[in-house]
Amino acid sequence: MHQIRYFLAVSDTLNWTKAADRCNVAQPSLTRAIKALEAELGGELLRRERALTHLTELGQRVLPMLRQCYETAVSAKMAAESIIKGDAVPLSLAISHTVSLKPFAPMLQELARVFPGLRLKLQRGSRGEVADYLKSGTVEMAIAGPLGEAWTRLDVFPLFEEHCDLAVAPTHRLAAKDGAEFKDLAAETLVIDVGCEVVDDIRARLRAHRIVDPPTHDVGTREDQLALLSANLGVAVITVGAAETHALRLVPLKQLDLHLTVSVYTVAGRQRGTACATLLNMLRAAEWASA
Amino acid sequence: MTQPDFSGVLEASFIRSRDLDAPLGDRLQAFADDVRRLAPGFMAAIDALVGRLQESDAGAAAPKVGDLMPAFLLPDDQGRLVKLQDLLKAGPLAIAFHRGHWCPYCRINIEALARAEEKVAGEHRHIAAVVPDRRKFAIWLKSEAKAPFPVLTDIDNGYAMSLGLAIYVGDEVKSLMTDSGWDPAKSQGTDDWLLPIPATFIIGTDGIVHSRFVDPDYRTRMEIEDLLAALASAT
């Protein structure tokens, strides 16, 4: 594994002296290790031209995968060792309002069993807040739908998809119908969770069906959205799972075809805590039945 | 050129090889012979990859006899987190790395290990398998062989890499494998095309490596008789 550590150090610094210092080895050892890695991969990874060092095409191609694998290896190793020591294990996690904690509860339970020192810090937020928590380092990882962020340091691992549909109170006039069409919404007030990950998709679909500037109640959390729906103040397009927990009626909305892809997010290059690394591996290994 | 559904064509050959009444080595060889006969070009590329790995001493840094086996914490096929120390509480352990549920050699190997586990389980000696595949595929591999032991998921080959056992298959083999219908990316949930060297370690209850088999040629595996003998003499 030291070969990969050395290769990552040279790739980061593009300077053999600095890389050797960072890895705390003599330059000949560094060179030897990289030659061995090149022999194993069957090609040159780095090219030295006088004072300049740059990655070859093969080097550029294998760098991201070796980095991801190396980060997983290092944090998994730390996790296995920290149990032996019985350390306190903090885990800071953000979950968007849209996502239910329920499917993740068995994993947190398993994590707490293995790490008796587990101390959770859970934060809820809109997609913007979740993205900010990740960027600022307030949380190590997040579970949410698409964050609408083009931040290159964000590592995204898709987990499952949740189907969205029209939800109404049991007393609503549409509740008794087998299905609805967009034109049925023309006379309705919509309850919109403005921080929800699919709010832009919902608005785009409404516009596409000529529902422009409909009357709305705007809310900032899923909980408030569900409360207003239960009180029959309007109708909403939400994930099916959320509607079921609040005894709302789901009415299939023709031509909606909307899914929320729930992913786990981490920040590349940031040292993952032991609980974070272990939970990430559990989430990625898990078998998810798509909702 | 390999045929588009080469992996499908080989299924009958896989079943015939797996079900041979012969030592594991012969069964793996029977399958390898069929591949060589049906797709000499494919096998030549594999020979070149294996030659390169052997030349560069791939896997040489893996724990040796007398070394302490590094700790791990990996999710099993039930979603439980499994520690090496927990497995060792039940007795000496054979831990076998596998490339994935899609690999015919691994499927033959797992089947042989499953029958071996049935023989030794009453003697407080155990077997566990490690794959880079996600749980769904680990379950598939386990069910096909009716394996009574845990199949652990090593995401990104992280543990294998920490042991110096993760290798990159290279562009040529990657495209040959994809064309033939073998795609580890789907089951691993990552497109990095790293695979573990399918090594086997026999570990005593003190965590010390008692015996090992490491060969970058994935077509050869630790012989079951050797594995059973090593397990029997481990304490």
DSSP 8-state code for residue A253: B
Instruction: Give every CB contact of residue A22 below 8 A, 6+ residues apart in sequence.
Output: A9, A12, A13
Rounded mean pLDDT, B104-119:
95
User: In 10 A of CB A86, how many CB atoms?
Assistant: 10
Q: Does A70 touch chain B (CB under 8 A)?
A: yes
Instruction: Give the separation between CA B235 and CA B220, rounded to whole angstroms.
Output: 26
pLDDT tens digits, one per residue of B50-74: 999 999 889 998 999 999 999 999 9
Q: State the nearest Cα–Cα gap between B1 and chain A, in angstroms.
A: 22
Instruction: Give the separation between CA A151 and CA A265, rounded to whole angstroms.
Output: 11
pLDDT, residue B180, reads 85
Closest CA to B129 of B162, B87, B164: B87
Can you give the pTM of this predicted structure?
A: 0.90
In this complex, do A69 and B162 lie within 8 Å of one another by their Cβ atoms? no
Instruction: Give the separation between CA B101 and CA B142, rounded to whole angstroms.
Output: 9
pLDDT, residue A108, reads 96
The percentage of residues in chain B with a pLDDT greater than 70, rounded to a whole number, is: 98
Residue A61 phi/psi, 5-degree rounding, is -70, -40
For A227-262, letters b (16+ CB in 10 Å) and e give ebbeeeebbbbbbebbbeebebbbbebeebebbbbb
pLDDT, residue A80, reads 82
pLDDT band at B2 (very low <50, low <70, confident <90, very high): very low
pLDDT tens digits, one per residue of B184-206: 988 998 888 899 999 999 999 99
Nearest CB to B79; choose among A65, A77, A286: A286
Angle of helix B40-55 versus helix A27-41 axis, rounded to 10: 170
Q: Does B94 touch chain A (CB under 8 A)?
A: no
Instruction: Give every CB contact of residue A213 below 8 A, 6+ residues apart in sequence.
Output: none
Instruction: Give the separation between CA A184 and CA A209, rounded to whole angstroms.
Output: 11
Instruction: Give every CB contact of residue B211 below 8 A, 6+ residues apart in sequence.
Output: B65, B201, B202, B226, B230, B234
pLDDT band at B9 (very low <50, low <70, confident <90, very high): confident
Report the sign of the C-alpha dihedral through residues B79, B80, B85, B88, in that order: negative
Closest CA to B169 of B199, B195, B132, B197: B195
Q: Which residues in chain B touch residue A263, judged by CB atoms under 8 angstroms apart?
A: none
- Copy the structure tokens of residue B135: 């749980």
pLDDT, residue A290, reads 55
Nearest CB to A69; choose among B52, B134, B157: B157
Instruction: Give the separation between CA A247 and CA A245, rounded to whole angstroms.
Output: 6
User: In 10 A of CB A192, how many CB atoms?
Assistant: 20
Q: What is the CA angle A22-A25-A26, rounded to 5?
A: 120
pLDDT, residue A291, reads 39
- Write down the residue that tokens 């190590």 correspond to: A140
pLDDT, residue A232, reads 95
- Please list the ranges in chain A whose pLDDT falls under 70: 290-291
Instruction: Give the separation between CA A113 and CA B17, rounded to whole angstroms.
Output: 43
Q: Which residues in chain B touch residue A112, judged by CB atoms under 8 angstroms apart?
A: none
In the stretch 209-268 of chain A, residues with CB closer than 8 A to chain B read none
Q: Assign A116 to helix, strand or coil.
A: coil
A201 close to A132: Cβ distance less than 8 angstroms: no
pLDDT, residue A83, reads 77
B208 close to B68: Cβ distance less than 8 angstroms: yes
In this complex, do B153 and A285 lie within 8 Å of one another by their Cβ atoms? yes
Instruction: Give the separation between CA B102 and CA B125, rounded to whole angstroms.
Output: 28
Instruction: Give every CB contact of residue B24 below 8 A, 6+ residues apart in sequence.
Output: B108, B109, B112, B221, B223, B224
pLDDT tens digits, one per residue of B29-47: 999 999 999 999 999 999 9
- Copy the structure tokens of residue A175: 């509740």
Nearest CB to A72; choose among B58, B72, B158: B158
pLDDT, residue B62, reads 95
In this complex, do A84 and B166 lie within 8 Å of one another by their Cβ atoms? no
pLDDT, residue B1, reads 46
pLDDT tens digits, one per residue of B13-28: 999 999 999 999 999 9
Residue B214 phi/psi, 5-degree rounding, is -130, 115
Q: Assign B156 to helix, strand or coil.
A: helix
Q: State the nearest Cα–Cα gap between A98 and chain B, in angstroms.
A: 24
User: In 10 A of CB A6, how many CB atoms?
Assistant: 24
Instruction: Give the separation between CA B164 and CA B103, rounded to whole angstroms.
Output: 21
Q: Assign B197 to helix, strand or coil.
A: coil
Rounded mean pLDDT, B218-228:
97
In this complex, do A1 and B164 lie within 8 Å of one another by their Cβ atoms? yes
In the stretch 43-62 of chain B, residues with CB closer than 8 A to chain A read 49, 52-53, 55-58, 61
Q: Which residues in chain B touch residue A69, judged by CB atoms under 8 angstroms apart?
A: 156-158, 161, 166, 192, 194
A229 close to A216: Cβ distance less than 8 angstroms: no
Q: Does A110 touch chain B (CB under 8 A)?
A: yes
Longest dimension (CA), chain A: 78
Q: Which residues in chain B touch residue A62, judged by CB atoms under 8 angstroms apart?
A: 168
